[in-house]
Structure 1
Amino acid sequence: MPIQIFALRTPNMAKLAAEGMKFTHAFVATPACGPSRTALCTGLWPARNGAEPNHKAKNPGVPSLPPALHALGYEVAAFGKVAHGHYGKDHGFNVLGGNQIGDSDTVEVAKFLANRDASKPLCLFFGTRHPHVPWGENAGYDAAALKLPPKHVDTAATREQRARYTSDITRADTLLGELRALAKDKVPGDTLFIYTADHGGQWPFGKWNLYDAGIRIPFIAAWPGHLKPATTSDAMISWPDMLPTFIELSGGTVPEGIDGKSFAGVLRGTTTTHRDRIFTTHSGDGDFNVYP
């Protein structure tokens, strides 16, 4: 596991981990927002779905997750930064709300859940910008007391930015707590709840790089009655794996020819392993999002 380098205030993430399974080897298909999210929605590597550079739509005709779940009777809703930018409409969500690029809160989600037909199966995505740059103001962290990673240059400016970055993680944690409360109140029954991230932080050797700090991401799943609480899995999973996993868990047939591999067996407890290697790429975005 990565070394704990600063004391984060993330009580809701800790509570989710205590109630579910923490995956220690979860990875993304690419360390950039748009391509990573499109890989999740399509189950394909970026080079195959067309959204290889950042801020690019998937190729026309490439299937996506929402229509596959529609066919299984699900309503599929997305709020906030889920499909990135203005490309959410390309994926076929029944509901597309919130700010697709900037900050989003849970108010619109609460209204949606209060007014929908609760008897219909639901797949709901919520994406927050936090902790994407620009980071918000420091929310009470002592910049001077933070333990910086060894790859950081220790300056007052670095420490202040690290405190702001850490504050944004705490803001994301607050949203997570609000969403969990809404889910427990408005989406009762057999509900799988997942918390994850689309790439690593925007720090040296992080976002835009294929080092672990760029591609290895948090992934916690809680599924009462199915997943044992406070458990840890070292099964290697990748974001494109979520499309076939969701389809299989929903009772559908996983489409052929995709790159994702269902890890439903890990969630159901029938296996403890998944992939034996991780494949990930980054386009460089036309030599724009690169550095030594």
Structure 2
Amino acid sequence: MSATLDLTARQRSAATEPAPAAPAGRRSPTFRRALRIASIALFIAAWQLAVHYRLSLGVVTFANMPSPANTIPALWDLLHSPKLPMHLAASLTRVLVGFCAAAVVGVGLGLAIGRYRALEDILLPPLEMLRPIPAVAWIPLAILMFPSSELSMMFITFIGALFPILLNTIHGVEAVDPRLVATARGLGTGTLSLYTEVVLPGAAPSIFTGLSIGMGTAWFCLVTAEMIAGQYGIGYFTWESYTLQNYADIVVGMALIGVLGMGSSLLVKRVGNALTPWYRLRGARQ
């Protein structure tokens, strides 16, 4: 009884104590957000000045580059174009289908390879041989393998997203504490429960890191994918602008791919943070 009263008193005392102050040097979220926006503005200003003064660094020259002042009207025209929704819908479909397929295959193979050495010896060597092949080199085989250009383009984005997801999943599984696995087996945990209750939660932070990187690389491969064929897509718009020498539109297409890739990768990261509340980085970054 006295122990219960003592525990209750300590809980009340903890509830009335003020929350610990943030460590000195930690910046507020508002300040950090403003700092990031300022960095983007500074980059754009430097780009404008480099083009305006025709900066030449010997190997690199900005004399023929479109400036932000020339790009903004091109962006305005695209935003008011009736083709923009079709471009976005086509690219989003290709990236999401390729990414989702890569997530299923990459996480599934990663969980298996990370746990069983025999599968690592059989499956990982050919996968490691395929990993350095650039997406553009897959275009001829993709055209031969798939009956439609749409499936070929989805395959290219799949290839781009697969290997970051696969390797990060393997790393996450291998990093799970062996003592946790041994304890779970000692308590009679079956293979399926071992995966769902021990291996998967332990590897989840690395898996979501791979998913975030994989989403970015899927967008990275979008221009390569949409070089195959098609009439719509942000990558196709960018490539077509190059062939037509609409240089400002090239920058607009690149910027849209960058924004969409950054936003979707950030979304995957936020989902990962929400689903792994037990995972926290150790130490505070200044």
TM-score range, shorter chain: under 0.3
> Higher strand proportion, which one?
1
Higher-Rg member (1/2): 2
Q: TM-score, normalised to structure 2's length?
A: 0.25
Query: Could you say which structure has the greater relative contact order, defined with CA pairs below 8 angstroms and 6 or more residues apart?
Result: 1
Higher helix share: 2
